Chain A
Amino acid sequence: MIPFNFEYYKPKTIEEAVDLFNSLKSAGKKPVYYGGGTEIISMARVHNVHMDAVIDIKGIPECNVHEVKDGELIIGSGVTLTEIAELNFFPLLSLTIKRIADHTVQGKITLGGNLMGPIIYKEASLPLMASNSKVIIAGRNGKRKVLVRDIYDKEKGLNPCEMIVQIVVEDKFLNLPYAHVKRTKNEKIDYPLITIVGLKDEKKISFAFSGICEYPFRSPKMEDVLNNNSISVNKRIKKAITNIPGKILNDLNGSSEYRKFMLHTMLKEALLDFQEVE
């Protein structure tokens, strides 16, 4: 039960959605773009979010695209995690999202929702960041394309009126060797203590992390260190950990010291997956 009323819109085109958002906003209302809605509904119940209107983007054809075309995998923001896992165009992405929430809820969460929702972990972003994937964003001034890793950037990220339409992954990344390691406090269905993904092309391994800081990230510095084959794996990992680009989480899921320890073992496993450890 949601303790307040709001209006529901399900537009058929991007333009309709964006115009609607702007007109509701100018009328003094607070609209939100609505994908799977799982976070919005559960937070609204306990008064943690409030809105006057939801704009359900699942009726927009572009947001439901899910295909490989012209050398690119295109996934609409309204595609559910279950659909992504079942079609399995990008195995690393499938593996990652199969560990978000639980199987039933994966049938409701959309890719756009996981990337843009208020919950900090956003694990679906990890394979997308590691593969330098891009996001097509629509707003009042039409569409633009930015790197997934930039959508959380204050400058380059989404402005309040913009919505994610699609994710674009270059197909050369889809079948690269990969690693996915997720650890929770104690059990399978939980937010990550830490999740790591790694994707290896001819030159190097790209890593993306969730659960270490308050946001998912890729760190060039950590990647450089981790790819430096001239030093031992243990040293590489230790050095990478000293280069974590933000404050390490310290909460009910685990202390920051424990996270560092866990990250160490996980990186070792990930590197082992890539046969970087003898």
Chain B
Amino acid sequence: MIKIAKATVLNLHINGEYREVLVKPSDTLLYTLRNLLGLTGAKPGCENGDCGACTVLIDNRPIKSCLILTVETIGKRILTIEGLKDVPIQKSFVENWGFQCGYCTSGFLMVCHSLAQIHPNANDHTIEEWLQSNLCRCTGYEEIENAIKSILTGTVRT
């Protein structure tokens, strides 16, 4: 049985590295990433699971990091936006104007990246299902749709 009764040093697997960090059982992953590890790419937009700006990947699946305790990630692989290195969706967001203020972008990118890995041939319905987990206030979503579709079909639209 795992028992963590108070602040404890955990060795978490983040972006391909092991990172030691002092974690309280009540700390959310979002808090640990931002406040203790300086990984501020995941954003707090609501801390209620509604906006998706804090989305990261846990074992390649999107998770809202405000709705998971850091202690739940022991033994799992965490990937944040800082760990995405030149994957197609980043370029596609840049070239399709997939953001304005950029605050929701990390979350959208993580969902899109996971979708592209798991369902490289996702249809419109699946794209919609996955991307409805996130909110963007600046764009009309069309740009984001173009960005994800251009990498799923393998061609970057001009």
Is A–B contact present in the complex under a CB 8 A cutoff?
yes
Chain A contacts to B: CB under 8 angstroms = 1-2, 4-12, 16, 20, 36-38, 41-42, 44-45, 54, 56, 58-59, 82, 98, 101-105, 107-108, 188-189
B87 within 8 A of A: no
Besides A37-B68, A37-B72, A105-B64, 9 new A-B residue pairs in contact (Cβ under 8 A), listed by A number: A2-B28, A7-B6, A7-B25, A8-B4, A8-B5, A45-B47, A103-B133, A108-B68, A188-B132
Q: Using Cβ atoms and an 8 Å threshold, which residues of chain B touch A7?
A: 3-6, 25
Contact A8 B71 (CB under 8 A): yes
Contact B132 A37 (CB under 8 A): no
Q: Using Cβ atoms and an 8 Å threshold, which residues of chain B touch A105?
A: 49, 64, 67, 133
A-B contact count (CB 8 A): 97
Q: Using Cβ atoms and an 8 Å threshold, which residues of chain A touch B49?
A: 38, 42, 101, 105
**Could you say which of A36, A41, A45 has the most chain B C-beta atoms within 10 Å of its C-beta?**
A41
Contact of B133 among A20, A37, A54, A104 (CB under 8 A): A104
Residue of A nearest to B72 (CB): A56
Contact A5 B26 (CB under 8 A): yes
State in angstroms the CA–CA spacing of A141 and B49 once bound together. 37
CB-CB contacts of B58-89 with A at 8 A, as 1s and 0s? 00011110111101100000000000000000
**Least CB distance, B39 to chain A, in whole angstroms:** 16
Q: Using Cβ atoms and an 8 Å threshold, which residues of chain A touch B5?
A: 7-8
B129 within 8 A of A: yes
Q: Using Cβ atoms and an 8 Å threshold, which residues of chain A touch B62?
A: 103-104, 107
**Least CB distance, B132 to chain A, in whole angstroms:** 6
9 A–B pairs (Cβ distance < 8 Å), ordered by A: A7-B3, A8-B3, A10-B2, A37-B68, A37-B69, A58-B72, A59-B1, A104-B133, A108-B64
Contact A5 B24 (CB under 8 A): yes
**Could you say which of B24, B26, B27 has the most chain A C-beta atoms within 10 Å of its C-beta?**
B26
Contact of B52 among A10, A20, A45, A104 (CB under 8 A): A104
Contact A108 B129 (CB under 8 A): no
**Least CB distance, A109 to chain B, in whole angstroms:** 9
Q: Using Cβ atoms and an 8 Å threshold, which residues of chain B touch A58?
A: 72
**Least CB distance, A112 to chain B, in whole angstroms:** 15
Contact A104 B47 (CB under 8 A): no
Contact A8 B2 (CB under 8 A): yes
Contact A1 B132 (CB under 8 A): no
